[in-house]
Amino acid sequence: MAQQGMDSALFERRLRPVYDNLEVGNNRKALQESEKLLRKHPNLLCARALKGLSLLRLGRYEESHGCLQVVAQEKPIDDSTLQVLSFCYREMEQLDKIVELYQHAVKQNPGNEELLAHLFVSHVRVEDYKAQQAVALQLYKAQPKNAYYFWSVISVVFQGIRGPESAIPEKRKLYLALAQRMVDKHIKEGKMETEQEAFLYLHILKLQNKHQEAWEFLTGELCAKLYPGAPVSMKFELLKELGNWKALNELLQQLLEADRDRWDYYKEYLQSCFELIKSTPTTEEGTPNDTLNSCHKFLLHIIESSTRKTRGPYLARLDLHKRMRAIQLPAKELVGDFDDLIIEYFVLFGDKSCCTHDIALFLPSISMEQRQALANKLLAESGISSTSLPQTKEHMQKHICALQISRMCGVHIELSVDHLLAFYTALKLHYEHGYSSFGTQLLSTEMGPSDPYALLAANVMYDISFREQKSDQLFEALCLLQYVLRNSTSNFHVKLLSLKIYHMFGCMLGAQEMYDYLDIKQIQLDSMGYVHCNLLPLSGRFSGVRTCYDSTLKFFTNSYKERLEYIALTYRFCTFSKMEEFMNFKERLTNSLLYVACSVEAQLCDLVSCYGNVQQNLTAYVTMSIEPADDRIAWNELSDNRDLEAIIRWDPLHLVDAEAARKESYDQEIEVLQIRSLLLRLFASFIDLYHAPPTAKLDMSNSKTPLEPPVEDTATIELLRESWTGLHQRLRLMNYKPLSQQFLVNLLPTRLHLLLELPYERFFDDLAQFVLDLYAGAPQLAMQCKRMSENVVAVMELCVQTITESNEWNSKDGLWKRRSHQQKVAACLEILSLYAFLLSVLNDKLQASAKTKTKKKPTGDNKTQDTPQIISEKERSQMLQELMRQLKHKLEACDSALRSWKPPNLPRELSSFMADMSLKPEVEATLIGDVSATFKESHEVMVTELRNLIKDKIRIVGK
């Protein structure tokens, strides 16, 4: 230890190569360098810690653990050793050890600011607010900085609102009062310095409902000086809490005079007006009272006195109308006719693409009849009829807006198929006209101004396809979208819709292409994963989809590692206004349903597609470290992070309930995850029974009874099997409805019904029994073998039959059922692949034990049986061999079916597709050629991949 302080610069230089190697990921070299250094200086703790880190990075956990333990026992105090150790513990998620580490260091070096700060952050990581408070105060004593003082204040606040005692109202009150006293004292001493400190004080007052005090502080001198940028919304919030609607009303009038397009101001302003009428009784029956009168006058005044037309006051007027109608006040008399107001708005702002969203806000407040009448008025107002075309870009945008609104009003949904087709043709022409007139001179980063026509056209074509349950119209829409994409390469709406259609038609290659084109990365992998990554499991590919899981999982594991450092950052910068937000964000990110689901699917995918020999496969299995007995998923914490709004839609408002659809799909996704994670654990428990996990295996090598793992192992299988059948029973009773597919933008069905329809439940239930019987050598083993072989036949037949069905469908419609057929085939092959893997492991074990022992007396389970006849290992081995032979045979049958699987027949004659568009013939030829080639290739890639999968399975059971 002594030598460390002596010559730190020298040691730092010697340690450098280790750090450098670790940084570039050369862990082996780092290990060598650290060992070299340790030979010369065996007591150099930092070198030993670095050795521990190198070992950790090399996956040599046991050695690493030993190494780090030695260092930790020395209770190091030098910064570099502590840093390395805490880095290791962070990586291993042993956050409490970092606390211990710094506690020791602080004990030996009391009052050391840096060590105390590290100790503080280590408490932050484990969210121990009480300990945080104590350390912050120690820090403040050691070094009276404001930051430390307020660290202790916020730690007290968190004890009151987030800590274990926060549920007890008296405790909460006590903590918050204490926090306030601490700040009060500081203010009295004239020590408050920053805006975040002022924010925190306001926050503490608000948490205690001391709104008046908060108001006084916010409008006081100190706050003005420290916190000049305090958001004005804080004032609104407090005035509302105080019920001071009059002051709020006046404040907002002032603000609106200066800032005439702020929706947040108008919203609060209108609310204040309506609160004011609540408090003063209506003067005369049926006439709007003074408040609303002056509100209306004020809005008119803004409209009339503005030189530049902004949407603000107009929208506010519409909102006034809506609010008045909602409480049966005579809106028409005061504000005017609703339709007229909307038309005026449309005339003024219809050339902006946001106009549709704006008008849509007010549609739910009127009847269906009025909606449709209004839609027709807007169309008429746009001045485009079946015989005229827009003359300017602005004119065109108005037409687009009117069309989008009509769809939202439910006009299209009532048209006949013939009408819809004519409408589609018109839209296509409008697109082409708009493109050639206004869209050819665009930058590559701009969207084509007439693109919305094509997007609408795709939705209309889906309506027809859905009605007819046929793919041809939608396929044409896909071609149109692909054409648009060539003209407008940055239109992500087009990419998202194409991606959706490709998935719907089971064309993985096209989907992947669109996904890559969208360049989804970082947090988008989470929020947008539902459009692609979440659709990949059982889509028909296994190894092919693994890269997509990988890139998604990589984002999650990286952010998981960093998640706590973000929170530490808010402390470092004393950003009190963001701390809770960061903590909630951390929860949301780490509990993302997609993260958990994707991890499970990636593991299943690995088990299905492992292609080595038994030993290699088992090694791969062990590194997955699945703990069957341990359900690691925090079911109640899971979070829905999907950005469902990213895909634009204009579907009839009365038929779309976005929130209900979100909930429904989310609930089903959770159930799917239940099934999949249980499948994974159940399957792992089979393997573990024969191939016990590494730790148990170590013990076993000493005990010389390789086939005798602890009793709990069969218990785990029993338990999981019970959950498995229980889960399926519950799900069947729940009777979930498949997600509605009425509109193009709706989410695709979840896999829930597929999983329930396919023989997963029975297959793995029987497999569990088989594994147990085989293990015990139970007399009913022969019967169970028979059941398994029946199961295998059933799955094989389902696979073959599905392919036959798909080929039959191909003559009438090659695409409509393609996805569901592919899913079924994939599911069958998943089941058989897992089974093949298991059989190969079982066989390997039985063979090995037959070699080591000439005769082995199996133990069986603990139950005393009436018939103690136990089937000999040799017989068991023979039965197993028979099952493998049978599986091989059935896999061959699947393979020959796969070979006969025809690529999708594409609907209609391709050449007639774009007949009515003025496309150049060469564009048309390549476009349609490309789209159909994608479908064909996608099928071929899938079949090749599946056949390779089968080939591997035949090999592992064929030996």
Burial tier of 672 (Cβ tally within 10 Å: 0-12, 13-18, 19+): buried
| Among 386, 445, 469, 735, interactor with other proteins by CB under 8 A | 445
- 592 phi/psi in degrees, rounded to 5: -55, 130
Q: Which of 724, 881, 719 is nearest to 789 (CA)?
A: 881
Stretch of 93-101, 584-592, 652-660, 922-930 contacting other proteins, by CB under 8 A: 584-592
- Residue 521 interacts with other proteins (CB under 8 A): yes or no: yes
- Residue 240 interacts with other proteins (CB under 8 A): yes or no: no
The DSSP annotation for 217-250 comes to: HHTSHHHHHH-TT--THHHHHHHHHTT-HHHHHH
CA end-to-end distance (rounded Å), the chain = 60
In the complex, least distance from residue 574 CB atom to other proteins, rounded to whole angstroms: 10
Query: Residue 178 or residue 523: which is nearer to other proteins going by CB?
Result: 523
Distance between CA atoms of residues 493 and 485, nearest Å: 10
Provide the CB-side half-sphere exposure for 409 (13 A, CA).
Answer: 26
| Among 534, 539, 617, 641, interactor with other proteins by CB under 8 A | 641
In the complex, least distance from residue 233 CB atom to other proteins, rounded to whole angstroms: 7
Distance between CA atoms of residues 821 and 505, nearest Å: 10
| Among 289, 376, 577, 613, interactor with other proteins by CB under 8 A | 577
Distance between CA atoms of residues 551 and 596, nearest Å: 14
Contact positions with other proteins (CB under 8 A) in 802-821 = none
| Among 7, 28, 144, 573, interactor with other proteins by CB under 8 A | 573
Distance between CA atoms of residues 735 and 732, nearest Å: 5
| Among 528, 614, 898, 931, interactor with other proteins by CB under 8 A | 528
Is the alpha carbon torsion for 244, 250, 252, 255 positive or negative? negative
Query: Residue 322 or residue 876: which is nearer to other proteins going by CB?
Result: 322
Q: Fill in the DSSP letter of residue 75.
A: -
Burial tier of 315 (Cβ tally within 10 Å: 0-12, 13-18, 19+): buried
- Residue 753 interacts with other proteins (CB under 8 A): yes or no: no
Query: Residue 528 or residue 538: which is nearer to other proteins going by CB?
Result: 528
- Residue 526 interacts with other proteins (CB under 8 A): yes or no: yes
Q: What six digits make up the tokens of 579?
A: 């701390």
Query: Residue 100 or residue 344: which is nearer to other proteins going by CB?
Result: 344
Q: What six digits make up the tokens of 605?
A: 């995918």
Contact 691, 848 (CB under 8 A): no
Stretch of 128-136, 262-270, 664-672, 842-850 contacting other proteins, by CB under 8 A: 262-270
Contact positions with other proteins (CB under 8 A) in 206-235 = 228-229, 231, 233
Site string for other proteins, 467-506 (x = CB under 8 A): -----------------------x-x--------------
Radius of gyration of the chain (CA): 34
Query: Residue 400 or residue 798: which is nearer to other proteins going by CB?
Result: 400
| Among 470, 578, 936, 947, interactor with other proteins by CB under 8 A | 578
Query: Residue 583 or residue 897: which is nearer to other proteins going by CB?
Result: 583
| Among 372, 437, 575, 780, interactor with other proteins by CB under 8 A | 575
The DSSP annotation for 302-359 comes to: HHHH-SS--HHHHHHHHHHHHHHHHTT--HHHHH--HHHHHHHHHHHHTTSTTHHHHH
| Among 311, 377, 889, 951, interactor with other proteins by CB under 8 A | 311
Residue type, 712: E
- Residue 271 interacts with other proteins (CB under 8 A): yes or no: no
The Cα angle at residue 279 between residues 276 and 280, in degrees rounded to 5: 90
Stretch of 427-435, 443-451, 771-779, 928-936 contacting other proteins, by CB under 8 A: 443-451
- Residue 262 interacts with other proteins (CB under 8 A): yes or no: yes
| Among 566, 622, 858, 932, interactor with other proteins by CB under 8 A | 566
| Residues facing residue 459 across a β-bridge | none
Q: How many CB atoms lie within 10 A of CB 724?
A: 21
| Among 168, 222, 326, 361, interactor with other proteins by CB under 8 A | 361
In the complex, least distance from residue 481 CB atom to other proteins, rounded to whole angstroms: 16
Q: What six digits make up the tokens of 211?
A: 């709104």
Q: How far is CA 572 from CA 89, 117, 120, 578, in A?
A: 21, 10, 11, 12
Q: 889-909: buried (b, 16+ CB within 10 Å) or exposed (e) per residue?
A: ebbeebbebbeebebbebbee
Distance of CA 887 to the CA centre of its chain: 38
In the complex, least distance from residue 524 CB atom to other proteins, rounded to whole angstroms: 6
- Residue 312 interacts with other proteins (CB under 8 A): yes or no: yes
- 150 phi/psi in degrees, rounded to 5: -75, -25
Stretch of 204-212, 296-304, 347-355, 383-391 contacting other proteins, by CB under 8 A: 347-355
Distance between CA atoms of residues 673 and 663, nearest Å: 15
Distance between CA atoms of residues 476 and 461, nearest Å: 8
In the complex, least distance from residue 522 CB atom to other proteins, rounded to whole angstroms: 5
Q: What six digits make up the tokens of 608?
A: 């299905």
Residue type, 84: V
- Residue 187 interacts with other proteins (CB under 8 A): yes or no: no
Stretch of 213-221, 578-586, 686-694, 866-874 contacting other proteins, by CB under 8 A: 578-586
Distance between CA atoms of residues 914 and 477, nearest Å: 10
- Residue 358 interacts with other proteins (CB under 8 A): yes or no: yes
Site residue total, other proteins (CB under 8 A): 53
In the complex, least distance from residue 206 CB atom to other proteins, rounded to whole angstroms: 16
Query: Residue 37 or residue 583: which is nearer to other proteins going by CB?
Result: 583
Q: Fill in the DSSP letter of residue 639.
A: B
In the complex, least distance from residue 646 CB atom to other proteins, rounded to whole angstroms: 4
Distance between CA atoms of residues 675 and 692, nearest Å: 24
Contact positions with other proteins (CB under 8 A) in 587-626 = 588
In the complex, least distance from residue 550 CB atom to other proteins, rounded to whole angstroms: 17
Stretch of 151-159, 368-376, 444-452, 614-622 contacting other proteins, by CB under 8 A: 444-452
Q: Which of 331, 361, 326, 358 is nearest to 345 (CA)?
A: 358
- Residue 354 interacts with other proteins (CB under 8 A): yes or no: yes
- Residue 310 interacts with other proteins (CB under 8 A): yes or no: yes
Query: Residue 496 or residue 731: which is nearer to other proteins going by CB?
Result: 496
DSSP SS3 for 478: helix
Query: Residue 557 or residue 865: which is nearer to other proteins going by CB?
Result: 557
Q: How many CB atoms lie within 10 A of CB 837?
A: 25
In the complex, least distance from residue 195 CB atom to other proteins, rounded to whole angstroms: 8
| Among 315, 479, 605, 795, interactor with other proteins by CB under 8 A | 315
Query: Residue 345 or residue 724: which is nearer to other proteins going by CB?
Result: 345
Site string for other proteins, 392-431 (x = CB under 8 A): ----------------------------------------
In the complex, least distance from residue 305 CB atom to other proteins, rounded to whole angstroms: 17
Contact positions with other proteins (CB under 8 A) in 644-703 = 645-646
Q: Which of 919, 929, 911, 839 is nearest to 879 (CA)?
A: 839
Contact positions with other proteins (CB under 8 A) in 273-302 = none
**Binding interface with other proteins (CB under 8 A):** 195, 228-229, 231, 233, 261-264, 267, 310-312, 315, 352-354, 357-358, 360-361, 444-445, 447, 490, 492, 518, 521-524, 526-528, 559, 562, 566, 569-570, 572-573, 575, 577-578, 581-582, 584-585, 588, 641, 643, 645-646
